[in-house]
Chains A and B, each alone.
Chain A
Amino acid sequence: MSLVITKESVGGRYVVKLAGRLDATTSAEFERQVVETLEPGTHLALSLEGLEYISSAGLRVLLMLAKRLGAGGGKLVLCAVKGMVEEVFKLSGFDKLFTIVEDLDRALEELG
């Protein structure tokens, strides 16, 4: 199974939903379609609800995304981090590196 990336705009704010796997193979796809297309300074809500697996390569591209958006004063809010993905975030300490909220509504609230 590969990665499905859905890009939406809700009330003028960007929303990206990930489903499937974010690993060494698909992280390049994520980098091309998400990281490189968003301008620094963009506020983005990233829903990991459909994400079943994330590897260290996947964590890396999330870090790259946060760094790029943050460079222009943008914000990245993750939401719906569940299951194995949540475990990985906790074990690796990545939950400390990102703003993570319950669901998309909260994420949009967070973005203001």
Chain B
Amino acid sequence: MKSLPRTSLRFRLLVSYILLVGMVAGGLMWVGEEALDELKNQALGSAKRAVAEVAGANSVAAQNLVTNYGEQLVEMTARDAAVELVLLLRGRDLNNYDKLRADPLLRAIATRQIRINGRKVGYVDVYDRNGVAVWHPNKAVEGHNYREWKERFPRMWELVEQSFHKEVVKGYYNFIDAEGRSRRKYMVLVQVKDTPFIVCASVLIDEFFTPLRQRIAIVASQVSRAVERWVGRSLCGARERVRLSVLVAAGVGMGIGIVVALVLSGAIARPIRRLEEAVVRLGQGEFDVRVPMEGGRETASLAHSFNLIGRQLATYVERVRQESAARQAVESEIRIARQIQTSLLPKTFPTREGFELYALNMAAREVAGDFYDFFYISPQRLALLIADVSGKGVPAALMMAVSRTLLRHVCMNNPDPAKALEEANRLLCQDNEQMMFVTVALGYYEPASGKLELASAGHEPPALVQRKEVVLLEPTGDIPLGVQPDWSFSVQELRLAKGQMLVMYTDGVTEAEAPTGGFYGLERMVQRLKALGAKGLGPTELCEALAQEVSQFQGGRLADDVTVMALIHGEEG
């Protein structure tokens, strides 16, 4: 046998529910984490953008500030140089450029560097009113006319030209450096009084602003990192809180879920468990067990079917029980009837000289009520009788017992068999509501003389057999016992010859029916008796042979008792 699954339906439902809740909680947690990450990225992004914007704004603001400052610084540098050169050039030959260039002091002033925080951002150079470079940090440029770069830097040349007539000129122009990069340049041009020279102070804007930008960028990145740290920290806290919340929610949900699942699974499993218990009880024979039609449609339907089965089983078992009881009753009735019948039939036959007697009864399954009897009513006379009680079963058996006792009694009191039957008839007719009756063939036999007095109460006529001569006695026309109380019976008197046999029988012989139809009948019986008589059979062999043949005629199934009695006169027992 296959072993039962170890887990109950309820447990499975519970586990399924908990798994479901767990999955939902996990999903929530994941979604929370994702959302937090998203939030973090967005927060960081916006923070960085803010920092960048602030940094940009700072940069612009600082640039404006620094621009003003730088412009002043450049102008001051140019003016200082111009003033210094006025003083130093006084009294010098202003046309001898080589001599002038050779003076280191003049060169130092005329090509000084412009520095901020020690970083070189620009320089000073000097040119004359023709545009020829007099001093320049790059000596290769000296002697060249700036006009040469007019095409390349038109704005520069414009400013230079202006400076020929104007004391101070300032302006921006785009310079292209040795590496081809376009860089913005600011320059201030100041005339050196009393000389043909003009001082030019110029700075590269980007060089000039680089430190500032760098600083702002550093600060911005520091701010950005700080913001990131702060966002990270606060988000970390938020993450913890979210995790905690989800865990708590999942825990609470799971708790509620377990309770709900317990209740729910109980509600689902309960009707099934009840059904199971009911099935077990049904199996133990409690057919009145019913289950309530509850739960889902399926379980309710199952319960309904189960209840139907219970009812049907109960009906069925009741029917079987009744049938079995009825069968037992019938069988016990058959047994009782058979016991009565068997106890009534004498088994020991008289063994006196002068005659031989034998009788047999083959009982049908349902006792039919045949019986035979023999007894001495005087030392010289033997009463022998064969009888058939109407009906079957216990009533017939009881009637048989009554009749036998009664017949023995009346025979003892009546030397005339007809009178004996009359007395028996009167007694049997009393209170015979059920109209049970008995057919009897009664003979008084004197072994010494062979004299036989026969009376019959509606019984089949006896036969006389002598070798192959068979005579069927005339029916007396008398009625069975128990029907009409004042009936007068007649007597047939005859004398048996030596070796002549009296054969008495019941309707079990003549009314035996073949399975294919047709009765055994008187005629066939007479023919058989002739054949058996011709063989010279004695009473025992003849009775056995006839009964055997009748049984075979019916295919072995006796519908009625078969009873045969035979008496042979003049033979030694």
Contact = CB atoms under 8 A, between A and B. Distances in A.
A60 B391 contact: yes
Contact of B484 (A24, A87, A97): A97
A97 B435 contact: no
A97 B483 contact: yes
A12 interface: no
Contact of A90 (B390, B437, B475): B475
Given A59-B437, A97-B483, A91 B475 contact: yes
Contact of A59 (B369, B390, B513): B390
Interface string A59-95: 1110110010000000000000000100110111111
B86 to A, nearest CB: 165
Given A56-B507, A60-B435, A84-B519, A93 B392 contact: no
A30 to B, nearest CB: 13
B459 interface: yes
Most buried by A among B439, B483, B484, B513: B483
B391 A92 contact: no
B516 interface: no
A93 B511 contact: no
B411 interface: no
B478 A93 contact: yes
A92 B435 contact: no
Nearest to B477: A93
Interface residues of A, number: 22
Contact of B507 (A55, A90, A94): A55
Contacts of A67: 435
Contact of A92 (B369, B459, B522): B459
Contact of A91 (B391, B461, B513): B461
B310 to A, nearest CB: 35
Contacts of B522: 87
Contacts of A97: 479, 483-484
Contacts of B434: 60, 64
B480 A93 contact: yes
B553 to A, nearest CB: 15
A57 B478 contact: no
B392 A91 contact: no
Interface in B446-477: 457-461, 475-477
B388 interface: yes
B338 to A, nearest CB: 16
A49 to B, nearest CB: 18
Contact of A24 (B388, B392, B478): B392
Contacts of B388: 56
A95 B360 CA distance: 30
A96 B511 contact: no
Which of B476, B477, B478: most chain A Cβ within 10 A?
A: B477
Contacts of A55: 507, 511, 560
Interface string B417-450: 0000000000000000011110100000000000
Nearest to A83: B519
Contacts of A93: 457-458, 475-480
A94 B458 contact: yes
Interface residues of B, number: 31
A35 B47 CA distance: 117
Nearest to B513: A53
A60 B479 contact: no
Nearest to B393: A24
Contact of A60 (B366, B436, B519, B560): B436
A95 B461 CA distance: 15
Contacts of B513: 53
Contacts of A61: 435
Contacts of B392: 24, 57
A53 B459 contact: no
Nearest to B519: A84
B281 to A, nearest CB: 41
Given A53-B511, A56-B391, A60-B390, A96 B477 contact: yes
Contacts of A95: 477
A67 to B, nearest CB: 6
Contacts of B560: 55
Given A24-B392, A56-B439, A59-B390, A92 B458 contact: yes
B477 A63 contact: no
Given A24-B391, A56-B507, A57-B391, A92 B519 contact: no
B289 to A, nearest CB: 39
A55 B560 CA distance: 10
Given A56-B391, A93-B457, 11 more contacts: A55-B560, A57-B392, A59-B480, A60-B390, A63-B483, A64-B434, A88-B507, A90-B475, A91-B460, A92-B459, A93-B475
Interface of A: 24, 53, 55-57, 59-61, 63-64, 67, 84, 87-88, 90-97
18 contacts: A53-B511, A55-B511, A56-B369, A56-B389, A56-B437, A57-B390, A57-B391, A60-B390, A60-B391, A60-B435, A60-B437, A63-B437, A64-B435, A84-B511, A93-B457, A93-B475, A95-B477, A96-B477
